[in-house]
Amino acid sequence: MSWRVLNADEHVTFREFLKSFLSRIPEFQPAGEASDGLEAVELVTRLKPDLVLEGS
Amino acid sequence: MPRRDGLEAPRRIKAHNDGTSVILLPAVADEAHRQAADGSRGDAFLPKNARMGHALGKLQGTECSAQATSFLHSFGWLGRTKIRGRTDEPLCDRGVDRFFEPDGSRVRATGYRKGPGGRLQTPRPNGFAMAATRPAFLYSRDSPFRENGVP
């Protein structure tokens, strides 16, 4: 099973870190990235990911 | 987050699409943040600088989605190093098959065996002994939060 992951964090370095990490796990596919909560909500509405990693 | 409270976003996300799991990754994990996170609709609470036990503690108290559970387990089995009898911070990023050498380079370990308590261990030719005890990614050398002063 593959799950689509939306990565939402204001720190680009942390987003890059998570993206790099997730790229090693076949069952997780990147769905998109958001730099803040508002963008995350917008992307969830549009992309309907399975999982959101929400930095705060 | 500057444009939207990081704890407000999960509520809105769940309102738009309840099938989406949300894992909160706060930079600060004090009691106030923990209580606030409990009040949000996040599926799990995983402080950026915390050990996985924090997240599992949350999971034990709530029904966590399969996605969130799988994600958390995927970060699992981060080992700890023991150097001259002293247990130090983990030096690997994920899994018993990924290690960091002292110079930061990565090597792939082989020859796993069960150690005390059934934990996976592997003897290292450089004297490092590794046990897969602590699942967390936050001690990775890649983590930017060391640079930001977060322990």
Shared domain check, B67 and B39: yes
> Which residues of chain B make contact with A9, given a CB cutoff of 8 A?
25
Shared domain check, B101 and B55: no
Least CB–CB distance from B23: residue in A10, A41, A54: A54
Our count of domains for chain B comes to 2
User: Is B139 within a domain?
Assistant: no
Q: Does B16 touch chain A (CB under 8 A)?
A: yes
Shared domain check, B66 and B101: no
Let me know the angle formed at the C-alpha of A21 by B143 and B114, rounded to the nearest 5 degrees. Answer: 95
Measure the CA dihedral B134/B43/A38/A21, to 10°: 30
| Whether B1 and A10 lie within 8 Å, measured CB to CB | yes
| Whether A54 and B25 lie within 8 Å, measured CB to CB | yes
Provide the CATH number for the domain formed by A3-54 in this structure: 3.40.50.2300
Shared domain check, B67 and B19: yes
User: Is B96 within a domain?
Assistant: yes
User: Is B43 within a domain?
Assistant: yes
**What is the per-residue pLDDT across B81-118, written as a single tens digit (0 to 9) for each?**
333 343 333 322 333 223 333 344 444 444 444 455 55
Query: What mean pLDDT, rounded, does chain B reach?
Result: 51
ipTM of the complex: 0.94
**What is the per-residue pLDDT across B5-27, written as a single tens digit (0 to 9) for each?**
667 888 888 888 888 888 877 77
User: Is B136 within a domain?
Assistant: no
Please identify, among B74, B108, B123, the residue that sits at the C-terminal boundary of a domain.
Answer: B74
User: Is B124 within a domain?
Assistant: yes
Least CB–CB distance from A44: residue in B20, B26, B142: B20
| Whether B6 and A53 lie within 8 Å, measured CB to CB | no
The residue of chain B nearest to residue A26, with distances taken between CA atoms, is B74
Return the minimum-mean-pLDDT range out of B37-46, B82-91, B142-151.
Answer: B82-91
Q: Report how many Cβ contacts below 8 Å link chain A to chain B.
A: 113
- Closest C-alpha to B46, from A23, A30, A9, A36: A9
For residue B49, pLDDT over 70 is answered with no
Which strands form B129-131's sheet, in the order they lie side by side? B86-88, B80-83, B129-131, B120-123, B113-114
User: Is B117 within a domain?
Assistant: yes
User: Is B106 within a domain?
Assistant: yes
Q: Tell me the pLDDT of chain A (56 aa) as tens digits.
A: 778 999 998 888 778 877 877 777 777 889 999 998 889 999 999 999 988 888 87
Shared domain check, B39 and B63: yes
Shared domain check, B13 and B70: yes
Are residues A19 and A30 in contact, defined by beta-carbon separation less than 8 angstroms? Answer: yes
Pairing of strands A51-55, A3-8: parallel
Shared domain check, B97 and B51: no
State whether residue B23 is helix, strand or coil.
Answer: strand
Task: Say what the pTM is.
Answer: 0.56
Q: Does B25 touch chain A (CB under 8 A)?
A: yes
Min Cα distance A20 → chain B (Å) is: 10
User: What is the residue range of B40's domain?
Assistant: 8-74
User: Is B18 within a domain?
Assistant: yes
Please identify, among B38, B54, B74, the residue that sits at the C-terminal boundary of a domain.
Answer: B74
Shared domain check, B26 and B52: yes
